[in-house]
């Protein structure tokens, strides 16, 4: 049973990690595309319109990859996690169906019109199709995170005698106190990814002295949007998400911060340290006293419960994994703010385009927002374990009893091989689009 559950979780973790590489860019990029198209309508400068069409090609490629990798992932609700679907389908089926029927079709329909309908529609209707693509992509994120928020903080439900969850209050799904902080945190993080991608391609063009006008536009847009998005990820959205964890999942918060024992007189914030589960402590830690208490409760001496206050049956099942995922996310987020602040300052000093170390830094930072986003999701998912629905349904109770560990391992290896090929194909196609550069409007 333990092997079966391990492989079920590994397969879902792999497929969803690979899948989310693509939506996190499309959601943020859709906003930047709308911005470029809006700037074109205001200024009538063709550079903005060409930029919008260039990035929509990257968007379309990401969208296609997201669809291809998302469908097999959802099938796992009926294969590896059939019991979970049977018990909670009456609730999570609502939001997942809405995401598929409304958001996905809105996004995909108007994507085609944006890509191929500019001459037929005219610029104003063309802008509207881009806006509707943006709306569809962000609505998709909202409905998925509404599902996730219910699993983290279940509301508006009743459990029948047969163990099935039924929805008693539809509006509760969308007034869940967990939902809005998580949603805006996720969307801001997606915008960080898109901003770094846009800025990195801009830096690439400037360093290679090709498509220089577009390089400057991409760089300027990426660092400005990226800086504000990075700050929003931290404050207020990250702060509000953390406060929800403190209130509703206190054992998770203790594990995230590496607090094994409750301490009097305020809790320190740990900058560096390694969890030692056997001795219930952090090794080699570097910490700042009382800061965590102040950030959490605005009180320097507030008590934060350690893991010793909770029964071991409700401790997160992978405390080191949770601790490291959280600290990698926070550490990278701090680096993003610092780097982008330097870039914005240099931009206003009119020295950004010639400051080589910032250009190279932005170029080499390209993969790290993807890592930070992935670590953020790992923090949320590892933090909820050992529950599928927090405090109500354990992960072991949601796995399919008839799917063997051998079958799951076999299909996992198949996914790894197939996704490796898909990933290489994506990089080749994206590289070809980027190397060619934006197409200039023909007069």
Dig out the tokens for 130 from the structure. Answer: 């881009």
Pick from 78-92, 186-200, 259-273 the range whose average pLDDT is largest. Answer: 186-200
Which position has the higher pLDDT, 379 or 440? 379
299 belongs to a structural domain = yes
Residue 264: pLDDT band (50, 70, 90) is confident
339 belongs to a structural domain = yes
46-62: pLDDT as tens digits: 999 999 999 999 999 99
361 belongs to a structural domain = yes
Q: Are 407 and 79 in contact (CB under 8 A)?
A: no
396 belongs to a structural domain = yes
321-367: pLDDT as tens digits: 999 999 999 999 999 999 999 999 999 999 999 999 999 999 999 99
Look-up of token digits 């997942």? 96
Instruction: Report the number of distinct structural domains present in the chain.
Output: 1
Residue 443: pLDDT band (50, 70, 90) is very low
Dig out the tokens for 159 from the structure. Answer: 């459990």
The whole domain housing 225 covers 185-402
297 belongs to a structural domain = yes
For 231-258, what is the mean pLDDT? 96
95 belongs to a structural domain = no
Q: How much is the pLDDT for 442?
A: 55
320-330: pLDDT as tens digits: 999 999 999 99
161 belongs to a structural domain = no
Q: Is the confidence at residue 111, as pLDDT, over 50?
A: yes
- How many C-beta atoms surround the C-beta of residue 67 within 10 A? 15
Dump the DSSP string for 36-68. Answer: HHHHHHHH--HHHHHHHHHHHHHHHHHHHHHHH
28 belongs to a structural domain = no
Q: How much is the pLDDT for 334?
A: 97
181-197: pLDDT as tens digits: 999 999 999 999 999 99
């Amino acid at each position: 049973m333990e092997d079966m559950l391990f492989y079920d979780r590994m397969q879902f973790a792999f497929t969803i990690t690979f899948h989310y590489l693509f939506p996190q860019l499309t959601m943020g990029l859709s906003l930047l595309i709308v911005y470029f198209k809006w700037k074109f309508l205001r200024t009538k400068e063709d550079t903005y319109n060409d930029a919008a069409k260039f990035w929509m090609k990257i968007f379309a490629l990401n969208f296609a990859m997201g669809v291809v990798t998302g469908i097999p992932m959802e099938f796992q609700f009926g294969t590896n996690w059939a019991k979970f679907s049977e018990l909670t389908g009456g609730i999570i089926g609502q939001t997942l169906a809405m995401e598929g029927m409304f958001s996905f079709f809105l996004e995909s329909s108007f994507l085609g019109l944006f890509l191929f309908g500019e001459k037929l529609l005219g610029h104003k209707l063309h802008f509207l199709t881009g806006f509707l693509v943006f709306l569809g992509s962000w609505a998709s994120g909202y409905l998925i995170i509404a599902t996730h928020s219910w699993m983290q903080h279940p509301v508006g439900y009743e459990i029948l005698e047969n163990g099935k969850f039924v929805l008693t209050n539809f509006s509760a799904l969308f007034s869940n106190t967990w939902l809005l902080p998580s949603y805006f945190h996720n969307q801001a993080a997606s915008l960080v990814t898109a901003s770094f991608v846009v800025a990195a391609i801009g830096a690439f063009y400037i360093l290679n002295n090709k498509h220089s006008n577009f390089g400057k536009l991409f760089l300027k847009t990426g660092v400005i949007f990226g800086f504000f998005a990075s700050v929003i990820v931290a404050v207020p959205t990250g702060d509000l998400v953390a406060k929800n964890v403190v209130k509703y999942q206190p054992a998770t918060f203790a594990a995230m911060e590496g607090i094994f024992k409750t301490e009097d007189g305020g809790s320190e914030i740990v900058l560096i340290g390694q969890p030692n589960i056997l001795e219930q402590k952090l090794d080699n830690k570097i910490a700042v006293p009382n800061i965590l208490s102040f950030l959490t409760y605005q009180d320097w001496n507030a008590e934060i419960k350690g893991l010793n206050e909770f029964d071991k049956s409700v401790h997160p099942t992978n405390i080191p994994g949770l601790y490291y995922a959280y600290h990698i996310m926070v550490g990278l987020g701090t680096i993003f703010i610092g780097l982008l602040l330097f870039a914005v300052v240099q931009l206003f000093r009119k020295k950004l385009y010639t400051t080589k170390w910032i250009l190279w830094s932005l170029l080499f930072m390209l993969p790290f927002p993807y890592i930070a986003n992935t670590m953020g999701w790992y923090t949320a998912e590892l933090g909820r374990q050992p529950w599928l629905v927090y405090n109500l349904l354990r992960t072991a109770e949601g796995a399919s009893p008839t799917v063997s560990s051998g079958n799951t391992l076999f299909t996992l290896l198949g996914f790894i091989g197939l996704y490796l090929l898909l990933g290489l194909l994506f990089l080749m196609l994206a590289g070809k689009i980027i190397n060619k550069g934006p197409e200039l409007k023909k007069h």
